[in-house]
Structure 1
Amino acid sequence: MAEAETWTAPVSTRPLDATVRVPGSKSLTNRAYVLAALATGPTLVREPLVSRDTRLMLGAVSALGGGFAETEAGTRIHPIEAGSGEAVVTLGNAGTVARFTPALAALGGRTVRFDGDEAIRRRPLAPLLGALSALGAEIDDDGRGAPPFTVTGRGGLAGGDVELDSSASSQFLSALLLAGPAFGEGVRVRLTGTPPSEPHIEMTLDILRRFGAAPERSGTEFFVPPAALSCPDFTVEPDLSTAAPFVVAPLLTGGSVRVEGWPEYTTQPGDWLRSLVGELGAKVELDQTGLTVTSGGGFGGGQFDLHEVGELTPVIATLLCFADGPSVISGVAHLRGHETDRLAALATELSGLGADVTETSDGLRITPAPMHAGVFHTYDDHRLVMAGAVAGLRVPGVQVENPATVGKTFPGFVDAWTTLLEA
Structure 2
Amino acid sequence: MQYSVSKSNTILGGRVVLPASKSISNRVQIINALAYSFEPIKNLSDCDDSKAMQSILFSNTNTFDVGHAGTTMRFLTAYLAKVVGEWTLTGSDRMKERPIGVLVDALNSLGAQISYLEKEGYPPLKIFGSNLTGEEVELQGDTSSQYISALLLIAPTLENGLRIKLKGKIVSRSYIEMTLNIMEEFGVKAEFKGQEIFVANQPYNRIPYTVEGDWSGASYWWSFMALADEGKLYLDGLKKNSFQGDSGLVPVFEKLGVKTQFSKRGMFIEKVATYCKKLKFDFNQMPDLAQTFAVCSCLKNIPFHFKGLETLKIKETDRIFALIKELGKLGYVLTEPAEGELAWEGERNEEEDNIVIETYHDHRMAMAFAPIAMLRSNIVIDSPDVVKKSYPNFWEQLKEIGFSVEKK
Pairwise same-fold verdict (TM > 0.5): yes
Partner of 2:332: 355
Q: Match of 1:58?
A: 54
Aligned to 2:124: 148
- Give, in whole Å, the separation in 1 of the partners of 2:315 and 2:74: 13
Which aligned pairs between 1:8-407 and structure 2 lie closer than 5 A?
8-11=4-7, 13-63=9-59, 87-141=62-116, 144-154=120-130, 156-253=131-228, 254-297=230-273, 299=275, 300-361=277-338, 362-368=340-346, 369=348, 374-407=355-388
Secondary structure at the residue paired with 2:179? helix
Compute the TM-score of the two structures, normalised by the length of structure 1: 0.90
User: Is the Cα–Cα contact under 8 Å of residues 99 and 123 in structure 2 kept in the other structure?
Assistant: no
Q: Deviations over 1:129-169 (max 9, x none)?
A: 00000000001116611101111012x11111111225231
Asked whether the equivalents of residues 385 and 405 of structure 1 are also in contact (C-alpha less than 8 Å), the reply is yes
| Cα distance in structure 1, aligned partners of 2:303 and 2:373 | 20
Distance across 2 between alignment mates of 1:324 and 1:107: 51
Instruction: Decide which moves more: 378-387 or 272-281.
Output: 272-281
Over aligned residue pairs, what C-alpha RMSD do you find?
1.8
The residue identity in structure 2 corresponding to 1:192 is: K
Q: Distance in 2 between matches of 1:243 and 1:371?
A: 29
Aligned length: 397
SS where residue 6 of structure 2 aligns? Answer: coil
Return the alpha-carbon distance in structure 2 between the equivalents of residues 165 and 95 of structure 1: 19
Higher mean alpha-carbon deviation, 169-178 vs 294-303, is at 294-303
Please state how far the C-alpha of 1:15 moved relative to its aligned partner: 1.4
C-alpha separation between the residues in 2 aligned to 1:138 and 1:188?
20
- Cα distance in 1, alignment partners of residues 345 and 399 from structure 2: 28
Question: Which secondary structure state, in structure 2, belongs to the residue aligned with residue 162 of structure 1?
Answer: strand
Name the stretch that deviates more: 393-402 or 25-34. Answer: 393-402
1:74 is matched with which residue? Answer: none
State the shift of 1:298 in Å: 5.6
Percent identical pairs in the alignment equals 30
1:378–1:402 Cα contact (<8 Å) kept: yes
Report the counterpart of residue 83 of structure 1 in structure 2.
none
Residues 53 and 259 of structure 1, relative CA distance in 2, 3 Å threshold: same
Per the normalisation by structure 2, the TM-score is: 0.93
Displacement of 1:336 in angstroms is 0.6
What amino acid sits opposite 1:394 in the alignment? L
Matches of 1:223 and 1:398, distance apart in 2: 49
The Cα shift of 1:258 comes to: 1.5
Q: What amino acid maps onto 1:238 in structure 2? A: G
- Check if 1:411 corresponds to 2:392: yes
Unaligned runs of 5+ in 2: none
8 Å CA contact 1:40–1:230 kept in 2: the answer is: no
User: Hey, what's the Cα distance between the residues in 1 that align with 2:335 and 2:379?
Assistant: 20
Q: Deviations over 1:208-238 (max 9, x none)?
A: 1111111111111111111121232101010
**Greater displacement, 363-372 / 47-56:** 363-372
In 1, Cα distance between equivalents of 2:381 and 2:345: 22
- Tell me if the contact between 1:93 and 1:120 (Cα under 8 Å) persists in the aligned partners: yes
Q: Tell me whether 273-282 or 175-184 shows the greater mean CA deviation.
A: 273-282
In 1, are the aligned partners of 2:10 and 2:374 still within 8 Å (CA)?
A: no
Q: How far apart are residue 12 of structure 1 and its match?
A: 5.5
Q: Indicate how the Cα distance of structure 1 residues 53 and 166 shifts in structure 2: closer, same or farther if over 3 A, else same.
A: farther
Which moves more between the two structures, 41-50 or 334-343?
Answer: 41-50
Which whole-Å CA distance do the structure 2 matches of 1:34 and 1:10 have between them?
Answer: 40
One-letter amino acid of the structure 1 residue matched with residue 149 of structure 2: S
1:324 Cα deviation (Å)? 4.1
Contact 1:321 1:367 survives alignment (8 Å): no
What's the CA shift for 1:247? 1.7
Provide the rounded CA distance (Å) in 2 between the counterparts of 1:324 and 1:108: 52
